[in-house]
Amino acid sequence: MRKHYHTDRGLFRAVQDVDVEVAPGTITALLGPSGSGKTTLLRLIAGLETPTAGAIAFDGVDMTQRSIQDRDVGFTFQGYALFKHMTVAENIAFGPRVRRLRIDVEARVAELLALTGLAGYGSRYPPQLSGGQRQRVALARALACSPRLLLLDEPFGALDPLVRKALQRSLRDIVREIGVTTIMVTHDQEEAWELADSVVLFNAGRVEQAGRMEDIAARPRSPFVMNFVGDVMHLPAGCLFVRKMGLTTARPFVMVRPSDVSLHADYRQPRICPATVIAKTLVGWTARYYLQFDDGLEMDLLVSKKEDRALYDFGVKQRVYVSCDPSLMLPFEPAELNDPLSEEVLLSRLG
């Protein structure tokens, strides 16, 4: 699948050579940074955009030239797009009535109000609702015509964290109960972890990696994927810690996850590097150690307070030892991150 746009600056490849298969009855997340092509792909699937090349098939049937109405999809937009002059019930009933579906519309509305936790809100108007309630109405309206495919564009982006968490659980339960195949766009990794059966990770219009979120995090195929999914540290490839771990590379930097780095009170193994605790902070249920290696490199590591009391409890200025399996370190060039700000910071460290 390709989608190109002609702009004043030349050809923009919004979607380039994308091949995605979505299993029926599952939730698939299109994940990636802003401008990576995920919303464009969602619009192509919905029929809101026409592909430059390629085809879209539902259950083996080519839908590329079908109209939006003929695709039988439900779509929720980032801004909800509710009709303010209509009640909640009228918003939900709009689709079935316009399409003249042969169903009991009032019964369908009542069913969806109950399913989305909005029973008793049918007579209210969108401006009278909270952001979370408006999102539920948008979801109910998208489901009103019993679509074969549900498309969600950043469904929780405008909500505060507590409401977002509650709605994520509700959405997962609703989709599971109905069994509708769902594709959602998000730039939020936690949202993908929470909701999706599978994830398609986008980078500059291309699919960088696809699969289960835990598999992508454990086995990233590129520096971009490792940098985007989960926490990472960027270390100079020539620093003392990397050399002590036995890793040699021609690339200027090495990426490693903090969770793969271990602290020790004594010199336990050959591949280990001494450091000094220069500060320690306790926040909530965690303890954060700030370390400095003998070459001046600084690193901070987070552990649980329970783990700290049982294994560490190091003091400031105490000598400690740090290790990491070198197979978990990934050498990279700054340009491979496709992140101009990170690239600028890293290049400045090279002098």
Same domain, 11 and 132: yes
Check whether residue 20 and residue 167 sit in a common domain.
Answer: yes
Q: Kindly state whether residues 174 and 249 are assigned to the same domain.
A: no
Residue where one domain finishes, among candidates 182, 204, 224: 224
Per-residue pLDDT of the chain (351 residues; tens, 9 = 90+): 788 888 888 888 899 999 999 999 999 999 998 889 999 999 999 999 999 999 999 988 999 999 888 898 998 877 778 899 999 999 999 999 988 888 899 999 999 999 888 999 999 999 999 888 888 899 899 999 989 999 999 887 766 777 777 778 888 888 888 889 999 999 888 888 888 999 999 999 999 999 999 999 999 999 999 999 989 999 999 999 999 999 999 999 999 999 999 999 888 777 899 999 999 999 899 999 999 999 999 999 999 999 999 999 999 999 999 999 999 999 999 989 887 777 677 777 765
CA distance 351 to 339: 19
19 and 133 inside one domain? yes
If asked whether residues 257 and 218 sit together in one domain, one would say no
Q: What is residue 269's predicted lDDT score, i.e. its pLDDT? A: 75
Q: Verify that 28 and 124 share a domain, yes or no.
A: yes
Between the alpha carbon of residue 61 and those of residues 18, 19, 20, 57, 66, the distances in Å are 18, 16, 15, 5, 10
Cα distances (Å, whole numbers) of residue 78 to 49, 56, 95, 162: 17, 23, 19, 18
Q: Are residues 210 and 61 in the same domain?
A: yes
The CATH number that applies at residue 299 is 2.40.50.140
List all residues 6 or more positions away from 228 whose beta carbon is below 8 Å from its beta carbon. 32, 33, 189, 201, 203
- CA atoms within 13 Å, Cβ hemisphere of 173: 10
pLDDT of residue 342: 76
Q: 108: burial class by Cβ within 10 Å (0-12, 13-18, 19+)?
A: buried
* 217 and 131 assigned to the same domain: yes
pLDDT value of residue 351: 57
The tally of domains found in the chain comes to: 2
Are 284 and 210 found together in one domain?
Answer: no
Q: Which of 157, 192, 224 is the last residue of a domain?
A: 224
One domain, residues 298 and 319: yes
- What domain range includes position 261? 232-349
Identify the pLDDT of residue 350.
64
> Strand order of the sheet with strand 273-283?
261-264, 319-324, 273-283, 286-293, 298-304
The CATH number of whichever domain residue 55 belongs to comes to 3.40.50.300
CA distance 220 to 294: 31
Which of 224, 253, 277 terminates a domain? The answer is 224
Output the pLDDT for position 253.
Answer: 95
Query: Is the domain of 209 the same as that of 238?
Result: no
Residues 316 and 254 in one domain: yes
